[in-house]
Structure 1
Amino acid sequence: MSLFAGTTTYYRQFRPGIPDDVASVLDRAAPARPDGHRRLLDVGTGTGLVAEALLDRFGDIIAVDNDADMLAAAESALRPKLPEGSSLSLVQSMAEDFTPPAGWHAELVTICRAFHWLDQAAVLTLLDEQVAPDGVVAIFGDNSFWAAGSPWKEAVRDVVKSFLGEQRRAGSGTFQHHNRPYSEIMEESPFNEVEEVRVPVQRTWAAESILGYLYSTSFAAPHLFGDRLKEFEGALKHRLADFSDNDTFPEENEFLIRLGRRGKK
């Protein structure tokens, strides 16, 4: 079973998209092409949130994911918005197995909220053959609810733990934490000149969108609760009521973007 089995609808509707400020950082980082037709490779695209944010900034986009349901949702969302003259290819593949068309090299590779699922060193090595000489690999994401950071998010995590156990779930297994900073891993790769950019983001949630977000994750997918799903929803809403009397839950978050370029030889 996929780590994200049963989450696609929630993922598309409730996962926060990529803010304009983040898209602008990515846009500026990627080099220009003489024909103005830059190429983007989005690894672990999910339902296409990154590709959507960059759709009008890159003329040739390949988005890769191993989940067919996610790719179908990306196709439905992105194809109608594709600018005239642009190209979009959605490819079902593991990142470790993906090979682009012959002669195709990306000005920008994006890996958002997905690097922890990959064979990191292997993927970065493969990308050396898939990225233009002056191209950039961007590994980035914001903090999930599991990272907490505010009283109401800590309460959400506690309720999830009370139903699913203390360890963070990852589908039928548990999440394996990576203790090394991503920038350090990148510095050992071909893309060893690493720049970090932080972009703050503020959001406002309601109980229903919090539940929708949780159901989009591998650690709180609906099937993990079995016949206790409605019980979980009631418990979470009851707990959240301690933090707001008008169903409003503010969040301070940030995107940490790591931009990797090849070092000078």
Structure 2
Amino acid sequence: MSMFTGTVEYYRKYRPGIPESVAELLVDSAPQRRPRRLLDVGTGTGLVVEALLHQFDDIIAIDNDADMLGAAESALRPQLSTDSKLGLVVTEAEDFVPPSDWKADLVTICRAFHWLDQATMLQRLDAQVSQDGVVAIFGDSSFWAAGSPWKTAVRAIVKDFLGEERRAGSGTFQHHDRPYSEIMRESPFSDVEEYTVPVHRTWTTESILGYLYSTSFAAPQLFGDRLHEFEETVRKELAKYSNDDQFPEDNEFVIRIGRRN
């Protein structure tokens, strides 16, 4: 069972997309040519591909969750230009093998690197990326990182219902202590630049609950028959922090761009 079983409808609707400023940075980092090829690793419901769809004309997106890729297919295929290619592949990232004559100009790994065998993945990409291509590893902070009083309160409720350790589906989340840039510098893509893009969002109670149900640490099935109780507890707690159901969040995307030396 995928760690994201039961989350797909919430993932597509409530996960924040990729800001235009982040998409522009990614596009500008990759070589300009035709065909221009993108490999998106851990694509989920295709949020990264959607942000870059018209900047690349040969795209492969991979994920180990067939339901997620089904949602990506439904969202992306109608937007695809007639002269562009999109392949969606169900596979573990570390097992993926592209077509023999296919090399990516840009590899994107967004909000997914922590799930991977990181060193192995970067080594495997050496054979899958064009000589002047780049690997981008990036993401923003999840609600688990808290950072504001209302998020801290929501995280405390999740812990009350599911335990102190952060869940990851049926297991628990294994934290990675090493900075991603450090890991990249030990890989074939050792010339690393790091960028930070601030993001401001405003949430509502509905979108907060929807986001939580899109995660591996608060997927709906984890609550069993207490799901309604959890939801009501969150609603009552959030009401203490806003009179108009508006919850501001200051977040940031950290983007690491790796090239070969």
Same fold at TM > 0.5? yes
Which residue number in structure 2 is paired with residue 207 of structure 1? Answer: 205
State the AA in 2 paired with 1:155. A
Which residue number in structure 2 is paired with residue 42 of structure 1? Answer: 40
Can you give the 5+ residue segments of structure 2 that lack an aligned partner in the other structure? none
State the AA in 2 paired with 1:77. A
- 2:229 alignment partner, one of 213, 228, 231: 231
Which residue number in structure 1 is paired with residue 164 of structure 2? Answer: 166
Which residue number in structure 2 is paired with residue 181 of structure 1? Answer: 179
Distance 2:170 2:98 in 1: 32
Residue 251 of structure 1: SS of its match in structure 2? strand
Distance 1:122 1:37 in 2: 27
Can you give the 5+ residue segments of structure 1 that lack an aligned partner in the other structure? none
Q: CA RMSD in A?
A: 0.5
Residue 174 of structure 2: SS of its match in structure 1? coil
Q: CA deviation at 1:37?
A: 2.2
Which residue number in structure 2 is paired with residue 191 of structure 1? Answer: 189
Which residue number in structure 2 is paired with residue 96 of structure 1? Answer: 94
Which residue number in structure 2 is paired with residue 59 of structure 1? Answer: 57
The alignment-based identity, stated in percent, is: 71
Distance 1:17 1:82 in 2: 18
Q: CA deviation at 1:84?
A: 2.2
Distance 2:128 2:209 in 1: 38
Distance 1:79 1:133 in 2: 29
Which residue number in structure 1 is paired with residue 256 of structure 2? Answer: 258
Give the TM-score, by structure 2 length: 0.99
Q: CA deviation at 1:32?
A: 1.1
Residue 45 of structure 1: SS of its match in structure 2? coil
Which residue number in structure 2 is paired with residue 6 of structure 1? Answer: 6
Question: Following superposition, which runs of at least 4 residues in structure 1 exceed 3 angstroms of deviation?
Answer: none
Q: CA deviation at 1:10?
A: 0.3
Distance 1:113 1:195 in 2: 18
Q: How many residues align?
A: 261
Q: CA deviation at 1:83?
A: 1.4
Which residue number in structure 1 is paired with residue 29 of structure 2? Answer: 29
Is it true that 1:110 corresponds to 2:108 in the alignment?
A: yes
